[in-house]
Amino acid sequence: TTAPGTDKVFVPAYAHVMDSAADLADAITSHAGNTAGKTSTHPGQTAIAADIIVTATVTGSGATKTATSATIPAGGGFTLTASLFSGSTQTPITPVARQWYRDNFAITGATAATHTVTNADGTHAGAYAVTLTTPAGELVTSPAFTVTVGALGAPVITAHPVSQTIAAGGSVTFTVTATGGTLTYQWMRNGAAISGATGATYTIANAQQSHEGDYTVRVSNSDASTTSNAATLTVNATGGNSGSGGGGGGAPTLFLLPALALLFALARRNQK
């Protein structure tokens, strides 16, 4: 309990001799959580005793909610909204800033009037709260709203990579399609992970016979992973000139021209 116009200040356990009031103010500014509160006005004139009501809209088959919690199926969604009221008169107050938290950690970029999650998975479960800043500079934090998300299960691969045969020097792309929450990918050749191959597609430019092998991809979400069927890559070596009836096709070389001329002359003489 504090006297009107004062605040509690919590300082970490340490020993330090301060020579002046300025040193004390610096210590408060550096170590106290509510730095704005050290110069706050009388609590009765601000929203220090304000109440926050958190409501939730949930989506997805089988989703349920209470006043303080919600259960979301994997792949469903939810939106949290907080309303701020004066504790004594229940007069609505418009905050000047907001910050949403999950399990006491600030959610990056979550500073809007609402916080929305779509395609929820296990990483979105937890206790949500919001800290609102009143026009008087006071920080008011809501009670926790607990979100439970059903298990995703392993990702489901709906289109496996396909075996391909190409000529050396060509380009080849393997593709996988999967469902099951927020997915990550790791491509492998003959069971060994390929460095940097972490997308839904994997392309080899200027493929050589050294690239031949069985290619698979491991698709993961926050709960489990699934490995695709193997796709075999065959790379045919490039040869020289080709033609029908075996080798020797193409234009005659220069050393054949004199022989052809001699045969033509002999044929003319025999005709005479």
Tell me the pLDDT tens digit for each residue of 123-151.
899 999 999 988 888 888 888 999 999 88
Q: Which residues pair with 66 in a beta bridge?
A: none
Q: Per-residue pLDDT tens for 61-117? A: 889 999 999 999 888 899 999 988 886 677 888 999 999 999 999 999 999 999 999
pLDDT confidence bin for 14, thresholds 50/70/90? very low
For the chain, the average pLDDT equals 80
Which is nearest to 40 in space by CA: 87, 3, 91? 3
10 Å CB burial of residue 192 (0-12, 13-18, 19+) is exposed
DSSP-derived 3-state class of residue 245? coil
- The answer to whether the CB of 235 falls within 8 A of the CB of 167 is yes
C-alpha 74/C-alpha 149 separation (Å) is 6
CATH of the domain spanning 156-236, picked from 3.30.420.40, 3.40.50.300, 2.40.50.220, 2.60.40.10: 2.60.40.10
Q: What ranges do the domains of the chain cover?
A: 46-149, 156-236
pLDDT confidence bin for 38, thresholds 50/70/90? very low
Q: Which of 29-38, 87-96, 120-129, 202-211 has the highest mean predicted lDDT (pLDDT)?
A: 202-211
Superfamily of domain 46-149: Immunoglobulins (2.60.40.10)
Three-state DSSP string of 164-219: EEEECCCCEEEECEEECCCCEEEEEECCEECCCCCCCEEEECCCCHHHCEEEEEEE
How far is residue 176 from each of residues 26, 215, 237, measured CA to CA in Å?
Answer: 57, 11, 27
Residues 86-108 as b or e (16 or more Cβ within 10 Å = b): beeeeeebebeebbbbbeeeebe
Q: Over 90: is that where the pLDDT of 28 sits?
A: no
Which is nearest to 40 in space by CA: 11, 5, 8? 5
